Amino acid sequence: MTTTPNGRPRTAHDDLVLAELRRSGALSRAELGRRTGLPKTTLFSTVAGLLETGVLVEQCADLSGDRGRGRPAGKVVLNPSAGLYAGIDAARGRMRLVIVNASHEVVGSATRALPAAPDAAVVGRAAADLMRQAAEEGSVGLSTLLGMAIGLPGILGVELAEEHVEEVRRLIGEEFGVPVLTGNNSRAAALAEATWGAGRNVEDLVYVRWSSGIGGGFVIGGRAVAGAHRGAGEIGHVSVDRNGPVCHCGGRGCLELVAGGEALLEQCAQRDLVLADLDALVDTVRNLSPTALRVVSAAARRIGAVLGGTVAQLDPARIVVGGEMAQLGSLVLDPIRQEIARLALPLAARRVEVVQADLGVNAAALGAVAWLLRKEPSPA
């Protein structure tokens, strides 16, 4: 039987509370009650027992800013000393890493450039180097590391070979002696936004990662959807032109080929506007360059048209747009909203929100940690 640090047998109620706190981070007792369904007296006695044994700690109420009558509710959270988790985003051209404790606090982070198409050995070495760099800079000991997860770009079995994924998992696992999870980095970012970001307070959302390519993910009923072949959310590979060019995924006329960041840079260059990278494109649009605005607005409308169908099929409460292009805010969100309103079921279109992602460039690395927090056994 599993026990708490003082030897007290852990109950099913304990496990339910700990699982929800690992999943969601700090919560008030009232929030815990709603999420676990435990009666008030049972919940309060369970929390009290876990606080007494040090498995949970109290988080002081935030007394800053405007608030209503009465004292704001304090929150409980997993003891930060319970263990560490590392999440990695091996995006095209750059790797990002975060180290998070059991209280959902980021205690270390690092980033470095990656080759365009790195082999497994390069990914493994880069991950090991970043772990040590982040631990050293954050004065973090890795002896309590419980798990690592890495988000990789591409469609498994199509752009991403199973052998490559297995080798990455093996190399990182052998280096640090902990379980390693792998998955798609856009799906990881979707889960991060649902856990900590712009989708935290809704159960059903669609996430779009608009970067050099276009990826995405679905969170339905509070759970990330992988799909039968682990490809759910790949809106970048929805065909928007059946007579268009063949995509590397095997399809034809995919959305990514006409609206992905690499395609936008090429379209600008064809109009005598040569830009070095997506950051330069974002800056040029912000400066209201007519050429860049036309190219990006047209792409946003193409994305909105695809999302109109997604809204009709999934009926999400919110669409969260992340990636470099989302930094443009209303300049890209408004055309997306307009196309959804024009093409989706009227009732769904009126109710769905289209918002900018909250978590920025570390979203996928944080989402990799969210995989661990939701799948790994309790560290307590």
Looking up residue 241, the CATH number of its domain turns out to be 3.30.420.40
Closest CA to 83 of 373, 359, 368, 374: 373
Residue type, 351: R
Residues 153 and 50 in one domain: no
Please say which residue of 51, 78, 105 terminates a domain. 78
DSSP per position, 13-25: HHHHHHHHHHHH-
pLDDT at residue number 228: 84
- Which tens digits make up the pLDDT trace of 45-100? 999 999 888 888 898 654 334 444 555 568 998 888 888 999 999 987 889 999 99
pLDDT at 227 over 80: yes
How many secondary structure helices (H) and strands (E) does the chain include?
A: 13, 13
Tell me, what CATH number does 67's domain have? Answer: 1.10.10.10
The set of residues, in sequence order, having a beta carbon less than 8 Å from that of 367 and lying 6+ positions away, is 87, 89, 151, 185, 187, 188, 189, 190, 191, 192, 193, 195
Least confident of 68-72, 105-109, 178-182, 255-259: 68-72
| Domain containing residue 167 | 82-188+363-375
Q: How far apart are CA 112 and CA 133, in angstroms?
A: 10
The partner residues of 96 in beta bridges, in order of sequence, read: 89, 111
Burial of 65 per CB tally in 10 Å (0-12, 13-18, 19+): exposed
Q: If DSSP codes are grouped into helix, strand and coil, which group holds residue 297?
A: helix
Q: What is the pTM of this model?
A: 0.83
User: Domain check: are 331 and 276 in the same one?
Assistant: yes
pLDDT band at 377 (very low <50, low <70, confident <90, very high): very low
Domain count for the chain: 3
